[in-house]
């Protein structure tokens, strides 16, 4: 992506430039290309300006005498024109400010630094970052089934997002209260921390090249993994995993399943089966969620996982901002 200074100069230096930029990418209705009719009288609406909170902003207005209904340019795109619980537009940010926040989200700028640069409040940035993650979630959910081949198999694995306790004490994942798993070592001594130790959540993942999909789960058993694999993987796909008993039924479900024993080898010397790709991706995901963000809540963990999968998918994108805006168009238009 271009630098922030260039982005400000060429896109968000004025509301008119922001509107033109969004119309070029079909994110806002353009009256030059599409006839926009008034909802009240049916007349063709025109581009006008209106003074809102001391700022002159472009709007659409009906030219018919006695009607003159005004409509926001954002009408029709729920990402820029979202409604509150009373079904009223409740967005206090201009289009320039929204695009600025989206830019910082795509650059993985921490919220505390984005607060200083943009002047927005903490709660506002949290809300918009979460809305951007909703776009990532919708894109990941709309993906088709993965088809594993001998040259590019699907690797599956599970990992615990528990973080690391300082001095072997303290919470494992900020804000998380996940249920005890069957693999808990809670009965062991925990350095004078009273009560049962709280385990972090388990995450089950599938990875094939730049296509990775992670799912927050409460248990790592056959009943949990089998529906996910059958839903995300096409029949007769080649799947690689380690020798966890929960994966033992994949062959009977119509998959070509091969395993590697990690107590003996990282790569099966006979079949060359390995899970190196997904094992490496766990590190990147944990660094982003547990270290950089200092953890997250149980309710938001899945959205952060979807954001990571989206960034992996767009890893080689020449312009991440353009691709993200196109994804907004596909999700909200």
pLDDT band at 46 (very low <50, low <70, confident <90, very high): confident
Q: Highest-confidence range of 90-99, 213-222, 282-291, by mean pLDDT?
A: 213-222
- Convert the pLDDT of each residue in 95-107 to its tens digit: 888 899 999 999 9
Is the pLDDT higher at 214 or at 41? Answer: 214
Q: Which residues lie closer than 8 Å to 132 by C-beta, 6 or more apart?
A: 102, 105, 106, 307, 324
For residue range 148-171, what is the model confidence (pLDDT) as tens digits? 898 999 999 998 887 555 555 554
pLDDT for position 87: 57
pLDDT at 175: 42
Q: If you average pLDDT over residues 122-135, what whole number do you get?
A: 91
pLDDT classification of 193: cutoffs 50, 70, 90:
very low
Number of domains composing the chain: 1
Within a domain: 122: no
Q: pLDDT confidence of 189, banded at 50, 70, 90?
A: very low
Domain of residue 264, residue span: 154-320
Residue 312 forms part of a structural domain = yes
* Residue 114 is assigned to a structural domain of this protein: no
The answer to the question of residue 230 being in a domain is yes
Residues 6+ apart with CB under 8 A from 174: 294, 295, 296, 297
> Residue 161 belongs to a domain with what CATH number?
3.30.420.10
The verdict on residue 80 lying in a domain is: no
Residue 276 lies in a domain: yes
C-alpha distance across the termini of the chain, in Å: 24
For range 39-47, the mean pLDDT: 75
- 178 pLDDT band (50/70/90 cuts)? very low
Would residue 68 count as lying in a domain?
no
Model pTM score: 0.80
Task: Output the six-digit token pair for 275.
Answer: 């899970």
What DSSP string describes 234-300?
A: -TT-EEEEE--GGGTTTGGGT-EEEEE-TTT-SB-TTT--B-HHHHHHHHHHHIIIIIIS----TTT
pLDDT given at position 147: 93
Average pLDDT, the chain: 80
Q: Report CA dihedral (57, 18, 330, 47) to the nearest 10 degrees.
A: 40
Is 35 inside any structural domain? no
| Mean pLDDT to the nearest integer, 112-128 | 90
């Amino acid at each position: 992506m271009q630098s922030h200074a260039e982005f400000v100069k060429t896109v968000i230096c004025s509301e008119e430039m922001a509107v033109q930029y969004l119309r070029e990418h079909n994110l806002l209705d353009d009256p030059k290309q599409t006839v926009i009719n008034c909802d009240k009288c049916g007349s063709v609406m025109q581009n006008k300006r209106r003074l809102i909170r001391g700022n002159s902003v472009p709007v659409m207005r009906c030219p018919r005498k006695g009607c003159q209904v005004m409509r926001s340019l954002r009408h029709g795109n729920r990402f820029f024109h979202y409604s509150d619980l009373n079904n009223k537009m409740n967005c206090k940010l201009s289009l320039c400010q929204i695009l600025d926040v989206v830019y910082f989200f795509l650059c993985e700028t921490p919220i505390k630094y984005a607060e200083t640069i943009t002047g927005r409040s903490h709660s506002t940035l949290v809300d918009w970052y979460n809305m951007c993650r909703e776009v990532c979630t919708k894109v990941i959910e709309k993906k088709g089934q993965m088809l594993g081949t001998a040259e590019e198999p699907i690797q599956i694995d599970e990992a615990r997002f528990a973080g690391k306790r300082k001095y072997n004490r303290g919470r494992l994942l900020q804000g998380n209260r996940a249920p005890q798993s069957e693999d808990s070592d809670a009965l062991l001594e925990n350095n004078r921390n009273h009560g049962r130790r709280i385990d972090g959540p388990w995450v089950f993942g599938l990875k094939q090249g730049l296509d990775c999909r992670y799912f927050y789960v409460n248990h790592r058993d056959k009943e949990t993994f089998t529906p996910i694999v059958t839903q995300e993987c096409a029949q007769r796909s080649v799947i690689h995993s380690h020798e966890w008993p929960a994966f033992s039924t994949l062959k009977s479900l119509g998959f070509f399943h091969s395993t590697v024993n990690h107590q003996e080898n990282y790569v099966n010397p006979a079949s060359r089966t390995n899970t190196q790709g997904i094992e490496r991706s766990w590190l990147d995901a944990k660094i982003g969620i547990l270290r950089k963000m200092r953890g997250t809540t149980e309710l938001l963990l899945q959205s952060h996982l979807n954001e990571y999968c989206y960034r992996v998918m767009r890893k080689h994108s020449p312009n991440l901002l353009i691709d993200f805006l196109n994804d907004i168009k596909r999700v909200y238009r």
